[in-house]
Structure 1
């Protein structure tokens, strides 16, 4: 198998929105194309079953963030 030793970026479309998916040794991050902030998830959270909690926390910190 090939180790994940450097970031891997891919673009994906969900509906009519385009996102950038970054997969690196620390975890993954999904951002709206052209933006810097997004939803991040550490591999340890995913493996430990804390993914839902981490995603909910990330979403709550970004809600209402733009005025």
Structure 2
């Protein structure tokens, strides 16, 4: 298995909008193309089952 030691960036289309997915050793980040802020998810949150809670908290603070 190849170790994840540097960021990987990929473009993905979701419902007609372009997004950038960045995967690095700390976690992943999904950002709308051309924007700086996006959804961050740490690997530890995903592994512990807290991913849904972390995503909901980020969404609620972004809407404020």
Shorter-normalised TM-score: what interval?
over 0.9
Instruction: Report the counterpart of residue 13 of structure 2 in structure 1.
Output: 13
Instruction: Report the counterpart of residue 3 of structure 1 in structure 2.
Output: 3
With the length of structure 2 as denominator, give the TM-score of the two structures: 0.97
1:30 to partner: Cα distance? 0.2
1:24 to partner: Cα distance? 0.1
Gaps of 5+ in 2: none
Kindly report the root-mean-square deviation, in angstroms, between the aligned alpha carbons of the 2 structures: 0.7
Instruction: Report the counterpart of residue 62 of structure 1 in structure 2.
Output: 62
The alignment covers a number of residue pairs equal to 64
- Match of 1:59, SS state, is helix
- Could you tell me how far apart the structure 2 residues matched to 1:61 and 1:40 are? 13
1:15 to partner: Cα distance? 1.2
Instruction: Report the counterpart of residue 38 of structure 2 in structure 1.
Output: 38
With the length of structure 1 as denominator, give the TM-score of the two structures: 0.93
1:57 to partner: Cα distance? 0.5
Instruction: Report the counterpart of residue 53 of structure 1 in structure 2.
Output: 53
Runs of 4+ in 1 over 2 A off after TM superposition: none
